[in-house]
Amino acid sequence: MTMHIVTARNLTKDYNSLRAVDGINFMISKGECFGFLGPNGAGKTTAMSMISCFMPPTSGVLKVFDINVTDNPSLIKSRTGVMPQEDNLDVELSVYENLIVYARYFDITGKEASRVVWELLEFVELREKSGVNIRKLSGGMKRKLILARALLNNPELVILDEPTTGLDPHTRHSVWDKLKHMKSLDTTLILTTHYMEEAENICDRVAIMDTGSIVTIDTPANLMKAHGGNLEKAYLNLTGKHLKEQVL
């Protein structure tokens, strides 16, 4: 039987009078890469923030590792890695220090912390920048460092909010290789992206969201088949009805 890492039923989030996520339903299996696609403001980050236990749902059911997010958020967090949409590195610290300090949140200290940090710096090709202050990193280097930081606790589930936004094509492909490597180790991945090529390359299934709702959940291949062989066409046809005419 397939184990579900995430189960959402009628999941809803309100910010005061604004319903950002409006009763969505989905299940994510172990080892799957599940993508959220959708226009700016569709509710993707809000959905991911509830899965990572950053904020509680307003209503509905949300289970991660079969644990209700409101029952034991600390346990879920200890088994999850998060790459937020916004860069939130500590600009007072160096590359190495940023990871070491973050490792403490997971009770990883001393020689073990040092070993894990060097291993991850190697993984994201930032070893030679270890002593450099965050202010002296390029945008892409910061993204890669945040990816490394998300992996410090050897997570079973990694939540990546626009992991490759702003990266050059070489770096984007290198991040895709890393995500594929994680998948090969049976790590479950949830990501958002505005790059259709990324969804096509990495995601087993995608949920297309628009104004807080999921319009469809399917494999990129099926969506392409139904929309002229092009995932961007599928996306444009299924979202932003108020903005665009059909492109097919």
**184 vs 167: CA distance, rounded Å:** 23
Instruction: Name the one range near ligand ATP by CB under 6 A: 44-52, 66-74, 177-185, 230-238.
Output: 44-52
For the CB of residue 48, give the shortest distance to Mg ion in the complex, in Å: 8
Cβ distance to ligand ATP smaller for residue 2 or 40: 40
For the CB of residue 229, give the shortest distance to ligand ATP in the complex, in Å: 25
Count the neighbouring beta carbons within 10 Å of the beta carbon of residue 104. 11
- Residue from 3, 9, 10, 15 that binds ligand ATP (CB under 6 A)? 15
Cβ distance to ligand ATP smaller for residue 31 or 84: 84
38's contact among Mg ion, ligand ATP, none, with CB below 5 to 8 A by partner kind, is ligand ATP
**92 vs 133: CA distance, rounded Å:** 7
Please write down the HEC assignment for all residues of 47-61: HHHHHCCCCCCCEEE
Tell me: does residue 42 bind ligand ATP (CB under 6 A). Answer: yes
3-state class percentages of the chain: helix first, strand second, coil last, to nearest 5: 40, 25, 35
For the CB of residue 74, give the shortest distance to ligand ATP in the complex, in Å: 22
Tell me: does residue 56 bind ligand ATP (CB under 6 A). Answer: no
Cβ distance to ligand ATP smaller for residue 120 or 203: 203
**177 vs 5: CA distance, rounded Å:** 23
b/e string for 132-142 if b means 16 or more Cβ within 10 A? eebeebeebbb
- Residue from 12, 46, 80, 188 that binds ligand ATP (CB under 6 A)? 46
**25 vs 137: CA distance, rounded Å:** 39
**55 vs 78: CA distance, rounded Å:** 16
Tell me: does residue 45 bind Mg ion (CB under 5 A). Answer: yes
Tell me: does residue 12 bind ligand ATP (CB under 6 A). Answer: no
**What residues does 82 pair with on adjacent strands?**
159
Cβ distance to ligand ATP smaller for residue 34 or 96: 34
Contact set with Mg ion (CB under 5 A): 44-45, 85
Contact set with ligand ATP (CB under 6 A): 15, 18, 20, 38, 40-46, 85
